[in-house]
Amino acid sequence: APSMRPALTRSEALLAEDALRLLISVASERESNGLSERGRVRRALLHRLFLGETAFSALAETLSRRVTEHADFAQVLREVATFVPPDGGGSGRYRLRPELWSELDPFYAHYTHADAQRAIERYRAHARSSSASPSKGAEGGVPSLLPRAGEGAELSSPFASLPGALRCRRLIGLVFSVLYYAAHTPDGTPDGLLTAALWLLALLYAPAQRQARQ
pLDDT recorded at residue 57 = 93
pLDDT recorded at residue 207 = 57
Determine the Cα–Cα distance for residues 110 and 70; give it in Å rounded to an integer: 19
pLDDT recorded at residue 187 = 73
pLDDT recorded at residue 209 = 52
Instruction: Give, for all 214 residues of the chain, the pLDDT tens digit.
Output: 455 566 677 888 888 888 888 888 877 776 666 678 999 999 999 999 999 999 999 999 999 999 999 999 999 999 999 999 988 777 899 999 999 998 999 999 899 989 999 999 999 999 888 876 555 443 445 667 777 655 545 656 666 666 666 778 888 888 888 888 888 877 777 888 888 898 888 887 765 455 445 4
pLDDT recorded at residue 33 = 61
pLDDT recorded at residue 182 = 82
Closest CA to 171 of 200, 198, 193, 195: 200
pLDDT recorded at residue 137 = 43
pTM: 0.78
Query: What Cα–Cα distance (Å) separates residue 60 from each residue in 32, 56, 66, 115, 116?
Result: 21, 6, 11, 18, 21
| 3-state helix/strand/coil string of the chain | CCCCCCCCCHHHHHHHHHHHHHHHHHHHCCCCCCCCHHHHHHHHHHHHHCCCCECHHHHHHHCCHHHHCCCCHHHHHHHHEEEECCCCCCCCEEEECHHHHHHCCCCCCCCCHHHHHHHHHHHHHHHHHHHHCHHHCHHHCCCCCCCCCCCCCCCCCCCCCHHHHHHCHHHHHHHHHHHHHHHCCCCCCCHHHHHHHHHHHHHHHHHHHHHHHC
pLDDT recorded at residue 160 = 65
Residues in the chain: 214
pLDDT recorded at residue 119 = 95
